[in-house]
Structure formats: structure tokens, C-alpha cells
Structure 1
């Protein structure tokens, strides 16, 4: 359900969004720890922002993810929910992971995939 006070916008020529049709094989790691050696991701390119590789949620061990109360709003994608990521070393990376569980139709392929802040988690094509 969307809050009527939050803007909802459609991608277009002024704010293009492109999502790759094919999945990309990626490796996911953080602070030198391997999180997923074989994962599938799709690339989302949005306007002037750096491309984001959205990783298949099943690739990351659920015990490493703890749902956060933090959320954010994108007028083109909808509400993002966040997770803290706890590494095997015990280090906890606060709100390092986000997901769109109910994205807008224009970006439906990213539903339930995971995005990672690149300063904390590396998602590298294989």
C-alpha cells in the first residue's frame, strides 16, 4: 500500500530506468568474506546513478540478514526495506542491504532481489 503523500513517478525520457533482460553471474563479498560464490543478478541502470546489480535473494544465507526498521522511498521504484548484514567475523554492517518487496510495475523484475551499498559489499561479475 502506498502513502498518498509520497510521489509516484513513471520512468521516461527525463528519468530513464533500464533493467537487463539476462541474469549475470556474480560473486558477493564483504570485508574479505565470501557471501555468495555463485549468484545471479540483474542490472538496473537509473538515470544518472551508478548501475546496481540486484542479487537473487536466495543466494545470501538468511541467517546473515537481520531486517532493519529503516525504510526509504523512491518515487520510481517504491518503498525499500533494509537489512543489517552480520558477517562470519561477527562484524555487523548496518542497513547495508536493501530490497523492494513490492516495487512498482515498471521495475517489477527487482522484486525481492537484494541491492548492496558498494562501500560495504562488493558484487562482482564472474
Structure 2
């Protein structure tokens, strides 16, 4: 859920009379853009990129905020770490990218259209 959506939900809960709002997120903080189909554009647009967890909670208007750890999420999936894409959490992409700090979500679409996408990227995108 995006920060602006979460912020609106916290506000609505408070307006409905909630005395406290405690947020629990079932993923680690998203700090890196996704180039594999999730709609995260750039790092600048990600709330967790430039704020601590306490700062995010305050920004959302919550009494507390907690995320599952990356290791906890990986353990819960029962998928071996090397087989699990976790790039949006730790910045370790499963393929080489020109510069993930500067690139937006349209990177792979642009490279596919130009015919310059790496074979691994083409396989990942077209895999059912």
C-alpha cells in the first residue's frame, strides 16, 4: 500500500473514533524501484527510501509502525533466497541494470521496445 493511501486510512480511522492506530506491514520497507511489473517508479517516490521507520510512522499519523524483516519474509516464503527476487527491499537486482538509482519503472519496457533488453530480462518478463 502506498504511503498516501495508508495516511488517508489512518485519518479515516481516527475520524471514526479510533483512539490508537498501529500499522503492521507484512513486507520489509520498499526502498528500491521495481522493474519487473510492480508499479514503483523511482526511489524518490518511495516513502521508506529517505525516512526511518519512526519517521514513516509519524508521517502516516500512526501510533506505531512495524515491518517484517527481510529475513523473516524470506523464511515465511519457504523459497531459497537466491531464487527470490527481493530487489525492491535490498537493491540487489537479479540481473545487471545500468544504474538502478536513476532509472524508472519504464526501463525494461524501453529496452524491450528497442530490442536492447538482456536475455535474462526478456525471459523474466515473458515467463508465465
User: By percentage of residues, which structure has more helix?
Assistant: 2
Give TM-score scaled by structure 2 length: 0.26
Per the normalisation by structure 1, the TM-score is 0.26
The structure with the greater share of residues assigned to strand is: 1
Higher RCO (C-alpha 8 Å, min separation 6): 2
Structure whose alpha-carbon radius of gyration is higher: 2
